[in-house]
Amino acid sequence: MFRSPTKFLSTLCVSAVMGCMSIADIAAAELDELIRDCANCHGMDGVSSEPEVPTIAGLSEIFIVDTLAIYKDRDRPCIETEYLEGGNKGVKTDMCKIIDELSDESIEALAKYYAGKEFVRAKQNFDPDLAARGQKIHKSNCEKCHEDGGSSVEDDAGMLAGQWTSYLEQSFNSYASGERLMPKKMKPKFNKLTDEGKQDLLHFYASFQ
């Protein structure tokens, strides 16, 4: 479903004689600073408190690397936003600007870090009746790639269950408009969903708390 990160990550040098920086070097020299920068939007340890910003803690390493590769390739819209916290609070930025400043080694180090954190489900409102309908839609259309109601990390397909509804709705809209590319297997099933069906799915994913 997702591209292999080997297409994006260069082979890391392990010889100190060659003077190349390893992931361990990245962790020691830069990782703390990078994490602080990410936390200014995605929250402490990647657990977002902002409905428009996804929680990235606990996502699979492969998924995080692949997502950043998609931004780097400009195959996903880089929506302008502002830093929510920190010294750059209020300064406009977007994911394309951020990813352009990261090395392959930094991306892998960040992916390892956030993959090792716990995904915390968002506490948000949902309609139980709509969630029940959404569960049926998910089971028949989405479960094959997004297992366990969209809560599985092992499928390397992101986290739907318990993710912020506003963020997921934004993603749905980007897919529908064509601004964000869909995996081939997803496209026919997503395109047949009605607006009502999409809302049902959103309530189903919000019901995981």
Nearest-angstrom CA–CA distance, 107 and 61? 10
Helix (H) or strand (E) holding 26: helix 23-26
By C-alpha distance, which of 66, 65, 94 is closest to 78? 94
User: 170-204 burial, b for 16+ CB within 10 Å, e for fewer?
Assistant: bbbebbeeeebeeeeebeeebeebeeebbbbbbbb
By C-alpha distance, which of 77, 57, 92, 38 is closest to 176? 77
**How confident is the model at residue 191, as a pLDDT?**
96
DSSP E strand boundaries for the chain: 81-82, 92-93
Residues 6 or more apart in contact with residue 124 via CB below 8 angstroms: 51, 164, 165, 206, 209
Nearest-angstrom CA–CA distance, 129 and 207? 11
Common-topology check for domains 5-115 and 128-206: yes
Residues 6 or more apart in contact with residue 145 via CB below 8 angstroms: 1, 155, 157, 183, 185, 186
What is 128-206's CATH superfamily? Answer: Cytochrome c-like domain (1.10.760.10)
**How confident is the model at residue 69, as a pLDDT?**
94
| Domain spans, the chain | 5-115, 128-206
In one-letter notation, the amino acid at residue 165 is: T
By C-alpha distance, which of 123, 109, 117 is closest to 58? 117
**How confident is the model at residue 26, as a pLDDT?**
54
Report yes or no: 193 and 9 within 8 Å, Cβ to Cβ.
Answer: no
What three-state secondary structure class fits 185?
coil
pTM over 0.95: no
**How confident is the model at residue 27, as a pLDDT?**
56
Residue-by-residue pLDDT tens, the chain, 209 positions: 444 443 333 333 333 333 444 555 555 667 899 999 999 999 999 999 999 999 999 999 999 999 999 999 999 999 999 999 999 999 999 999 999 999 998 999 999 999 999 999 999 999 999 999 999 999 999 999 999 999 999 999 999 999 999 999 999 999 999 999 899 999 999 999 999 999 999 999 999 99
Nearest-angstrom CA–CA distance, 144 and 131? 19
Compute and round to an integer the Cα radius of gyration of the chain.
Answer: 18
**How confident is the model at residue 141, as a pLDDT?**
96
Q: Which fold has domain 5-115?
A: Cytochrome Bc1 Complex; Chain D, domain 2 (1.10.760)
